[in-house]
Structure 1
């Protein structure tokens, strides 16, 4: 039956909008190291799962066939829920062991036959995560030799027993992942107990993770952005860039990436500026402002991932609304980029936006949610949360947003994630 359900999942995904949920899994430094893939049948971020087998079949078919593994996962592995039935089905062998971690549902009943199957799949290279662990009992101890990662449900267990459970898992040489983390105190305590991986709504609030040291480079980036906004000449731009050697290094990497160099080596600053163009240079400088001082690779930084995909999403949504209005698309991109800049600089939003001297519509969109840009920002934030009601409310406030249907928004989210992944891979290969 699972094979027919997988075919059904593929058929359905061709005839309807395609959705796959993903929740980041972070390491103790706050870097994204994996995603849990979740069944979703709409932009509404709720799991309406009536059949575990079919839900996983949909996730696998959509990730591998319709959307594509690179767009969904980038270079990170994906955790996929597995029922007992699916573990014995050929669907397992459609997934590459290096890209997928098999997550054993808490409802599975373990017996010798199942444990032997797990051992067989581990010999084939698969890794297993045991989901929703809340107690240290004989069942857990019997299964530990067959899994690689133990996911502890923080909300579902007695917190006083957490140290004992963590010690027992570590003694068996297994990795610990804590899920449903909702505060910085829970995060810090789990780190002290030896947890390597973290998952939960706490990490969806990047400002909580953004204890950042002041950096002189940030003032340079802000000054460069101000120069770029004034439509500078080549000489003026060269002079400003030469004051910032680190930015010049980044620009040379950008200019020599496949997107701009077209196979030829760019060796001068002037050539690099001409190849990238002021618009791309502005976008790059904006993202550098987020990256500066965080010491995380671009593809693993959850804040960069959020702002990069949000800005691209808003830019493309603006083009859906008015495909010939490039200034509106540019303003939408800028609104997305600067909607989180106060987090990076640890300043009040109004204070930093005044320093940047942004156009009034962008400023009012970020601070007050006003105008078409404010409505677009609200839709972007709602789409990130999967809040369908908020999307409908934003469209009612701005009737001109009717073209942004849930199906169109889901498509734009996939495109934005794919675009960000492609550009961060180029950035990191340039650093190599």
Structure 2
């Protein structure tokens, strides 16, 4: 019986897919998996946007399939490009369960090295992907990574020994990737490689799970509660009305058990274990990762929401560096200032009234009042007219915003754009 292609397409639209390929130790034991983007049950990837592909791999591993099902007790290597290295969403991944595999297309500079060093201090292991030559650039960054993956298809055989020796001399873990023959495996072992990956051992396996995408309104209601410092009972009650979000949250927390040494079973335990900041990160990832027809981060709405919220957060931290609640509220104001566009309604007031958002943030967005309203006006001025409008907006503000000079605002604007990845490849 021949399968109807339309039936297969319908079935595949109801599922999420994830590829994984084993990474093997010298004694043949399984050490880890590389996690790979798959858009269907077909075992190949059509990646048009690296950041979007990685976001979907992470969301599917943690919230769709589940870390235990995808990785067992092993770690997962995830491809990361430059913009995601600077993104706060990266902290959704537990450093105990995930390795950050920096793509070969990433250009290293002082700013990126500082960011990687910070992530390593936070517990993340960092791997370099698709290394194929012993260059000055490689030697200059070896002290800032933990693992080097050497591409056996691209590296000339006469140069393999010197490359492996230089990496091993600096105490880094060596992985031979794209190993396709017994001869390649024998050579890699002889040269002292620690681990191996490639078709000689196993082709990637495609994992499948039923798609459970939370609705945008559910995510927005949850973000509204988080922004209003809602009581635990309120957040718990809201989550109980949204089983898809609950499933994602439990998988998020159980992905690392947050150092508790035990599995999380109840909703209340999950909320306490994750904390509101981590839940907010996850909700934002789910909300914006598939927010429209355009790929994530190519969508102008996604870029605007990300850069605006980060700018407001940075500006708030300058004005009130010791007021964490105000800084968080500024970030949420940026996110919710565009919620009417996400929901497709006419005005911010109409969208926010349905969410029951805290009045401090709602009034800042609808009426432009209060310190948050002032910060939002500055952010919007910068978006509309660049440095000149930023300067004009800053001159309209009063203490304690006097410290937001045109120079500071320009610096924060660039930092916000870089954080979200707009200028990540400059």
TM-score, with structure 1 as normaliser: 0.45
Q: Which of the two has greater helix per residue?
A: 1
| TM-score of the superposed pair, with normalisation by structure 2 | 0.45
